[in-house]
Structure 1
């Protein structure tokens, strides 16, 4: 084995590592799971001699790759921009992976969120709190202002206070910390959303359509509390109902970390959709 062979292996290893890390930190992981499912279906169709399914998959694969590039164009652009800004050697040997490690939400974090939500509901302070789960929200986090502060109800209330610099937009919560404020979220174009709901509620549904996040909304007009999850919004929640739903989210996250590699519906998720 020559020096060039070692260099070749090292370069390929770095590329594979960077691609894997990019997939982990973006919504591309969801796309990768879908591709793996299609590959499994294609193999099963080949083994079982399902010619029609094999023909459909073979003829749509090229179009699917093009569609994936179009859909994930923002992520690809950000990945190339980050590659141009950072030092690959320093980044390769850095030990800053603990920040990206997913941990379950603690009881204290949920209590602080519930306390802040109830207080803002009483005085009709509009709020939009996004709790990140398995799907990373880095692309939306970058649209806001970094906070990276320990979760507290006082800080949440102060962020959404009227006429403050950070009150407009969403707050993203990750690993029991407030990571960013004034974040822009995608608006849902679903026709099932009631016409009287405004931009804040549509943004909550929109982020729940592209991720598995749980978003808490406080209406500025009525003070009503809502939760958006899985592309649906649940309105008019009482403080106890809010606690119950967040408790289900906490238990569901813990169960998923232990027993599930593929994200799907389990008993707790079906319960929250009732």
Structure 2
């Protein structure tokens, strides 16, 4: 048996096979960690870190070792580990922002995101609430987990339905004052509390519902939809930016564009 493995190790392709196996094991481990962490605010950071580690592994195993770049190999294996911890500590905020931005790239989301095809039901519910001048706030989870905010409300875990959304926000119902969170094709919770934006440039005419809708998109990459109970006007907020008084068609188009990455993700995984 030992002679058999000794023979294989002499084969030119055996090194490539071992490298592929190592990379596959690393990928599986990182993917498992990401699945466990799904729904937390650290997901984006871990996703960016996983991508960085996979790239480093590929460069190390395929290029440095294969081309016998001994000087570069020494720097990577001996020199960098000594300085990486002090560097990370010194530049922690910068590394965090960089990893979050990297983790939110569409080409990475395609591996780790779940499909969310709820636009039509949401638009239908928003249209009903708008015509009746019933206030509402809906957040759709994307890359950053909203589990912390789900815990602030009442868990529902129901299929997305325009009738259910409309009923939740109807005046007099116990949960109409809070927000609805949609997570992975489900109405995860209702009556949820969001942080209010502290942006001093937001018009004073906007009330608590609008400020909460903006606040959640400042803290996460979620999409929030706000229906004004005074005017019935519909607004959408992404990345802390508010677009006010949009039509039903504009809302539908925006949701389709913003959730396209999510639809692609499940097909890729």
Q: Aligned to 1:105, which of 116, 131, 137? A: 116
Structure-2 residue corresponding to 1:9: none
Matches within 5 A, 1:121-132: 121-132=130-141
C-alpha separation between the residues in 2 aligned to 1:34 and 1:17? 12
Distance in structure 2 (CA, Å) of the matches to 1:183 and 1:246 = 21
Map of 1:225 onto structure 2: 234
Match status 1:237 vs 2:251: no
**Cα distance, 1:221 vs. partner?**
1.2
TM-score normalised according to structure 1 size:
0.62
Q: Determine whether 1:171 maps to 2:185.
A: no
> Does the CA-based 8 Å contact 2:113-2:266 persist in structure 1?
no
C-alpha contact 2:179 2:190 (8 A) present in aligned 1: yes
Aligned match of 1:25: 39
Q: Give 1 or 2 for the bigger CA radius of gyration.
A: 2
2:259 aligned counterpart, secondary structure = helix
Q: Is 1:209 matched up with 2:218?
A: yes
Alignment correspondent of 2:194: 185
Q: Assess, with a 3 A threshold, how the Cα gap between structure 1 residues 58 and 150 changes in structure 2: closer, same or farther.
A: closer
Q: Secondary structure at the match of 2:218?
A: helix
Match of 2:255 in 1: 246
Q: How many residues get paired?
A: 207
Q: Which residue of 2 aligns with 1:152?
A: 161
| Closer/same/farther in 2, CA of residues 34 and 151 from structure 1, 3 Å limit | closer
Question: Which residue matches 2:22?
Answer: none
Measure, in 2, the Cα distance between the counterparts of 1:203 and 1:28: 22
Alpha-carbon distance between aligned partners in 2 of 1:18 and 1:58, rounded to the nearest angstrom: 24
Structure 1: any 5+ residue segments left out of the alignment? 1-15, 40-46, 48-56, 69-100, 261-274
CA 1:183–1:64: 2 relative to 1, 3 Å: farther
Deviation at 1:164, TM superposition (A): 0.9
- Judged with a 3 Å threshold, the aligned counterparts in structure 2 of structure 1 residues 64 and 180 are, in CA distance, closer, same or farther, namely farther
Distance 1:18 1:38, change over 3 A: closer
Q: Distance in 2 between matches of 1:176 and 1:21?
A: 17
- C-alpha distance 128-256 of structure 1, shift in aligned 2 (>3 A): same
Q: 1:161 aligns with which of 167, 170, 178?
A: 170
Name the structure, 1 or 2, with higher relative contact order (CA <8 Å, separation 6+): 2
Measured at CA, do residues 257 and 230 of structure 1 come closer, stay the same or move farther in structure 2, by a change above 3 Å?
farther
Q: CA RMSD in A?
A: 3.9
